[in-house]
Structure formats: structure tokens, C-alpha cells
Amino acid sequence: MDIYGSVVDNETRCIHYHTEKDIIAIKFKCCNRYYPCYKCHEEHADHSIERWPQEYFDELAILCGSCHTELTIQQYMYTTSCLHCGAIFNDRCTAHYPIYFEQHGIEE
């Protein structure tokens, strides 16, 4: 699986987010490419971020950097660890959900 952006290791950490728990990459709807974070996308893509609409939350769009298993957006949003290998995800990533995913009650 190709990971784009400023990746620093084989577990999808990047120059922006690189704690032990920063081990996911997100497939961006706009380009169908995996990036570790929105900052990497902003720096390396030539277009704006398109958020995933709720009707696509069953798409495989989250990559566990530990075991390289893909999760659906829905699975990722309702867990704190990889469903396959048990690796713990950074719970502070929830603060960035509105950047990646459309949310109930948020209007453009």
C-alpha cells in the first residue's frame, strides 16, 4: 500500500504526528490516496480535501500502520484500536474527524 506525504516510518507516522499511537493513514476521498494526516495532504496534493460523506462510512479508508489492515471509516470511528492486531490508536485524532468526515448536523 502506498502512503503519500512526509512519512517517517513503515507504520505510517509522519513529520506532523509521530507518537507511538499515530499509526493510521487515511484514504482521502478526493484523490483515493492514503496520507498519514491532513497536513501531509495539504503539503503534497495539488487539490483541496474532500470529506467523506456519511453514506460512504462503510468504505475501507483507514489503514492500520501496525498490521496494514484496512478498516472502514465506521469501524475506525467506533474503536480505539485495530480490530485485527489490537494496536492502540491515538484517541486525540477524533478532534480532526470534521476535516476528514462529514458529521451529523454540520452544514457547509
Residues 63/70, Cβ–Cβ less than 8 Å: yes
In a domain, 12, yes or no: no
In a domain, 73, yes or no: yes
Range of the domain at 61: 24-100
Confidence of residue 37 (pLDDT cuts 50, 70, 90): very high
d(CA 24, CA 22): 6
**Number of structural domains the chain divides into:** 1
Q: Can you give the pLDDT at residue 107?
A: 46
Stretch 34-41: mean pLDDT, rounded? 98
Residues 37/61, Cβ–Cβ less than 8 Å: no
Residue 19 cell numbers, joined: 507518537
Stretch 85-106: mean pLDDT, rounded? 89
By 3-state DSSP, what share of the chain in percent is helix, strand and coil, each rounded to 5? 25, 20, 55
Q: Structure pTM?
A: 0.92
